[in-house]
């Protein structure tokens, strides 16, 4: 089941849509192995009274185990780890829901951990450190966490370039509005420099950009 499209923002693109690795079921699978062995051995008991008691007890335990496993499967199917070009999204829960959303621009660092067995099966834990109240978020049983780490960094780089492009466009427009491109005379140059200074003071352009444009205008006088 893919991540619901109605929870994706307009214009937002999904880069990765993951469920937990199958190792998510490890405890439940390992718990079921001795239960199955016990049922197999119970069928070999010759004493009818002991045989029936073991079958009832172990059979009841097997039913409870199956219900438990079904609930964990539902939890697995409702757990999403999604990376978009804007944020990292984590949602989980069947009866109750829990979610974490981390904007890409707030991510400071990403770490992952894999033991030897986890490297073999392609699972691991991912830790995302971000600015704000969330701090550090830990995600377990992530599929190929090293690849996920690289994908998050790629999306962060893409997002940073996109923001830089928007910032450059905004500066260019602001400078064009202040200076104009209609061939003003030298008498207008002091006024243009004054407008540029205001843009510098309010942070729209940098001091270096102001100095360069100011020098260009003074050369025209």
* DSSP class of 22: G
Q: At what angle do helices 145-179 and 207-219 cross, to 10 degrees?
A: 30
pLDDT tens for 10-39 read 888 999 999 999 999 888 888 888 887 877
Question: What is the phi/psi pair of residue 181, to 5°?
Answer: -125, 30
Q: Which of 5-9, 41-45, 55-59 has the lowest mean pLDDT?
A: 41-45
Question: Mean pLDDT lowest for which of 10-19, 81-90, 110-119, 131-140?
Answer: 131-140
Residue 164 DSSP label:
H
Residue 75 has, within 13 A of its CA and on its CB side, a CA count of 15
pLDDT in tens, 180-205: 554 455 546 777 777 778 877 777 77
């Amino acid at each position: 089941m893919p991540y619901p499209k109605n929870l994706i923002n307009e214009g937002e693109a999904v880069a990765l849509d993951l469920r937990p690795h199958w190792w998510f079921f490890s405890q439940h699978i390992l718990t079921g192995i001795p239960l199955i062995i016990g049922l197999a051995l119970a069928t070999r008991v010759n004493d009818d009274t002991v045989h029936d008691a073991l079958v009832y007890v172990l059979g009841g335990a097997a039913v409870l185990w199956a219900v438990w496993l079904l609930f964990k499967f539902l939890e697995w199917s409702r757990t999403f780890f999604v990376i978009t070009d804007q944020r990292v999204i984590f949602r989980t829960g069947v009866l109750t829901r829990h979610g974490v959303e981390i904007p890409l621009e707030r991510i400071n660092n990403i770490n992952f951990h894999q033991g030897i067995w986890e490297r073999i099966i392609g699972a691991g834990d991912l830790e995302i450190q971000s600015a704000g109240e969330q701090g550090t978020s830990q995600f377990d049983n992530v599929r190929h966490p090293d690849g996920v780490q690289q994908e998050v960094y790629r999306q962060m780089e893409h997002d940073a370039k996109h923001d830089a492009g928007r910032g450059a466009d905004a500066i260019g427009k602001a400078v064009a509005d202040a200076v104009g491109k209609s061939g003003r005379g030298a008498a207008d140059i002091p006024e243009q420099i004054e407008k540029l200074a205001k843009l510098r003071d309010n942070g729209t352009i940098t001091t270096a950009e102001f100095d360069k444009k100011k020098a260009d205008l003074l050369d025209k006088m």
